[in-house]
Structure 1
Amino acid sequence: MKKSDFYFDLPEELIAQTPLENRAESKLMTLNKNTGEIEHKRFKNIIEYLNPGDCLVLNNTRVLPARLFGCKENTGGKVEFLLLKRTSKNQWETLVKPGKKAKIGDTIVFGDGVLKAKVVGMGQEGSRIVDFEYEGIFEELLDELGTMPLPPYIKESLSDQERYQTVYSKHEGSAAAPTAGLHFTNELLEKIKEKGIKIAYITLHVGLGTFRPVKSDDILDHKMHSEFYMVSKETAEIINSTKAKGGRVISVGTTSTRTLESIADEKGMIHEGQGWTDIFIYPGYKFKIIDGLITNFHLPESTLIMLVSAFSSRAFTLNAYEEAIKNNYRFFSFGDAMFII
């Protein structure tokens, strides 16, 4: 299977640069993969497609303000950091721009010296391993000095950093938002609960690998990045109970899907646990647990559109994307949503 099988031509003006003022007013395309029926709604209408006894699975990760701007201690040269992964309490794997300014032994200074980083090693694909030095609490300094690591296709600045967080975000650790969840408001979640739909939370810390293109022509040669997940006993019990009673498990986003499909056993049961997953889901994959998928519209030739195509079909997915383009749907992180059942 070739990556070109998942290509589509997207007009640049359909790439959403800013979030809508009201999260739930995003467009919603609903797709019935059994009948082929497509409907156009607003996201707030999602509740019409959910039944009492169903379970929504949400990823409650929280995005770190992981982009830092500093300078070299000895020369004053400007340096940009993007935190990728914490490897120990004060050590991180980071992307550095320009990379040539971050040699092993160099020290980078942020915020007039309240935070310093010493380059101690090389990571994967040109990243750097750095040790941070500071007084106080690292996360508080990051909130003060850092900015949101918006995707490279978003050129406009974000006036309110909370708009790149879901309203239910809880556990900090992501380098990117689980964007399917950005459409939910607290009011909509309350209405969903009142209708008798269960809410279960998992945590998967989204890495920047989610934006990396598939480089190999044959998608089977693509190596997925690893991401850390956590699934609680309570969440496992809610999901297993839903399945046992004949309810549907509806995954909100590709990150929730990857977590559930990583941890489900062959009988479709979920167990408490945590670990790292590099699961790659593409057409031909046999889903073990999810019955529905809420997701955004993704980049051409990305692992995300491949996952969506696995849940429905490649032809059905690409047809839906054509329909979205004709109807001026907004694409990518701040864009509109689809619900596949």
Structure 2
Amino acid sequence: MDIYNSKYEKETNFLKYFVFVSFFPQLILGPIVRYNQSGVQLKEEHAFDFENFKHGFMLILYGSLKKYLVADLLVKHVSTIFDGVYTNYPGCVLLTGILMYAVYQYADFSGGTDLVLGIAELFGIKLPQNFKQPYFSTSLANFWQRWHITLGGWMRDYIFYPLALTKIMQNLSKWATNHLGKHFGRTLPACIANIAVFMLVGLWHGPELHFFIWGLYNGLVIALSDILKPLFEKLNEKLHIKTASRGWHLYQIIRTFIIVNIGWYFDRIVDVKKSFIYLKNTFANFGNPRLLASKNFMNQIFGNITDFQSHIVLVVLGSLIIFVISILKENKIDVYKSIQNKNIIFRWAAYYIPLILIILSLSFSFGDTGFMYAQY
């Protein structure tokens, strides 16, 4: 497609092409790499670079912490809540489950991506970033600009723009502008293209109804937020909301996190009817949160409560490390360079504390759980 559109020169050497399509670190999880991003690098000579090795090792260590300390200790507990036949859990348990799933999915996928980027860097290959602190997003559209960035870029270039810029869409835009207003006419092609893209993203995860509904949900929310943008701006003006304030920024992050997690119900729960029941119970039958502190109740759900508590302690420690690093990155701080500039005690602590926690987590893990996104 890219050669047809004259984006790149065609590769006439089969072995060089084969190296590009079979570069082993990113075959299973991605990121989805364009030829201009890694194909050119793979043709170049790469000598051993100790700085690349150190940075790659830190990425591997950080990815392993996400995967083994956080994701692998949460996966069974998430499955206990969402894959069982019992559907009468109170909302407080379901909310706990979906929050655990939000952490698990991010730790598993972004951790796997960090491993891929780190391994590639050992060979001197720089692969594109695939995550950019998605849970600090201020809107659902912004979330998808930060989550699985390379898939979003692929869908944008090969589905969104070709669809939004078709003659049919341009004619529809003109009609809508004349009959429904300038803003509606301008945004309608993008709204339709977004809905189509997210339905395809849902089917990309698997040809199952719950994935299709999850994709449709995301597409509709983004489309409606674009269409209603002038209304929201007027409402903010009438209510005298300071949209540049830190408070408003924090509100946007929390609001987006809630919207994303509503979508996770349809992403995670295979039975569509069950996903709607669980979503309803979360809001209409929340129950007593004190149940979560009851050993008998927690034993019924998770089995051995001592193991569950040990897992949660380790998960919380890992999540705190991820959270602190994410805040630093969100504030444009290069964490790797900052560590290298510290004294030797701090540097060794940055290496050994995560390593010790990872080794400790392996004694509590449920065995090889694989990578979630390897199935898609």
Q: TM-score, normalised by structure 2?
A: 0.26
| Greater strand proportion | 1
Which structure features the higher share of helix residues? Answer: 2
